[in-house]
Homo-oligomer: A and B are copies of this chain.
Amino acid sequence: MSLSVALIGATGYTGLEVARLLTHHPHAELAIATARAEAGNPIASVHPSLAGRLDLELEELDPVRIGKRCDVAMCCLPHAASAETVKQLVDVGVRVIDFSADFRLSSLSVYESWYGVKHPWPERVGKTVYGLPEFFAEEIAGADVVANPGCYPTSAILPLAPLIRQGLIRGDDIIIDSKSGVSGAGRSAKVGTLYCETNESIAAYSVGCHRHQPEIEDLVGRIAGPEIEVLFTPHLTPMSRGILSTIYVRPSEGLAAESAGGSSDAAVDRVMQCWRDCYADSPFVTPVDHLPATAHVAGTNYVQMSVRRSGERLVLLSAIDNLSKGASGAAVQNMNVMFGYDQQSGLG
């Protein structure tokens, strides 16, 4: 009686993470895994860590067959290609969690200008729930398609949105300096992500032009109300997994006035309290006093976040595992919500 899951595009790191998580899931089972080039081979031939743990043959993508056998599909295809497949799957009655950016943004024109493609299913843009159960659990529960969040956006939206919504910080002076492990760049063969290129090296990339910037702005706006603007700088960091976001914000006039009269930590306390209130029912979001490190959440679906004051600014820090809460763990969490299971099922 467990859920039957299809994994579309199983050869990458997010695909492996989905497969791994499902081998432990009490209510779901991986029934179909697709991969174009490797169809016909056992999944362990592309992911040797699954040898002896998951006996499944990779197959070609066949929406009809998936429609017959599966309740839900996790779609790990590149943008645009993904939207096409999502549409086919929805047409055959499969609910879909889409890892691509195709249904994350509210605006078709923003999507098409940042991603440089025509959207294959424009009608659904702006009408698909964003898969952050901390804010959208109710819509996720009823959705046929869930847009699984980007990894950087997850690390930024979770600390920012409650503070903006409560009017504690300004929306026009936000700098997000994010550091990601290399798995965020995917598993295709590129010189830039070879071991010897990234080991012992940290560098920024896509400064001021990364596609996750509009996603962060869009979602914080949707959750919290006012429009915000962020400066977002991602960095490639010599580790496999993890994202640390260091976020520089200014207290709102209200918070500044309020905390001016009190102890030096008043603003910090207000931020912590706001987070605790907002995430009281969110099992994975953990405000902490210590400064979070990516290792503290590695391999888990947890988010650790903390705050410090420095001069007139507040420094927010959040750590996630980019492949788990930043991708595949979030997808399983979304699946749990969609099918009425405890959010933590299979994610313990």
Chain B residues lying within 8 Å of A341, measured Cβ to Cβ, are none
Question: Once the chains bind, are A239 and B200 in contact (CB under 8 Å)?
Answer: yes
Query: Contact: B246 with A248, CB < 8 Å?
Result: no
CB of B190 within 8 A of CB of A310, answer no
Assess the A244–B204 pair: CB atoms within 8 A: yes
Contacts of A233 in B (CB 8 A): 246, 310, 315
For A, the interface residue count at a CB cutoff of 8 angstroms equals 72
> A200 touching B200 by the CB < 8 A rule?
yes
Q: A24-B348, A189-B194 are in contact. Are A288 and B51 (CB under 8 A)?
A: yes
The residues of B that contact A189 with a CB separation of less than 8 Å are 189-191, 194
In the complex, per-residue mask of A196-207: 1 if CB is within 8 Å of any chain B CB, else 0: 111111111101
CB of A298 within 8 Å of the partner chain:
yes
Q: Which of B197, B207, B239 sits near A308, CB closer than 8 Å? A: B207
Q: How many copies does the complex hold?
A: 4
Q: Is the CB of B235 within 8 A of A179?
A: yes
Kindly supply a per-residue 1/0 record for chain A positions 64-89, scoring 1 wherever the CB is within 8 Å of any chain B CB and 0 otherwise: 00000000000000000000000000
Contact yes or no, B207 A310, CB < 8 A: yes
Q: How far does the alpha carbon of A208 sit from the alpha carbon of B310 in the complex, in Å?
A: 5
Q: Nearest-CB distance from A261 to chain B (Å)?
A: 21
Could you tell me if B53 and A302 are in contact, using CB atoms closer than 8 angstroms? yes
**Is A325 in contact with chain B by the CB < 8 A criterion?**
no
Q: Which one of B52, B200, B237, B317 contacts A288 once the chains associate, using CB atoms below 8 Å? A: B52
